[in-house]
Amino acid sequence: MSETISKLVQQTAADWSSVMPPNRPAVLLAGQMEGTIAGFTAERGKMKFEEEPSSFEAALQATKEVAA
């Protein structure tokens, strides 16, 4: 990523609503998200369910309680 998260947030706000972040804390908060985003990006493709259902419907059926 060539731009910082703070700059991307500012640009997105300008594109969508024609406003810049209202204050310095808003810009700092956006910058603090950079580490979190990098952490999730590093985990992409590594995490899996042990028995991943093929669909949401299959997951519901697998956990369905049987009436007694």
Any idea where the domains of the chain sit in the sequence? 5-62
What is the Cα 62 distance to its own chain's centre?
27
Measured between alpha carbons, how far is 5 from 31 in angstroms, rounded to an integer? 6
pLDDT at position 60 is 84
Place of tokens 């369905």: 64
Reported as a single tens digit per residue, the pLDDT across 9-58 is 778 888 888 777 667 787 788 778 888 888 888 888 887 766 665 688 87
Measured between alpha carbons, how far is 21 from 14 in angstroms, rounded to an integer? 9
pTM of model > 0.75: no
pLDDT at position 2 is 53
Provide the token pair at 50: 């042990």
Q: Exposed, middle or buried: residue 21 (CB in 10 Å: 0-12, 13-18, 19+)? A: middle
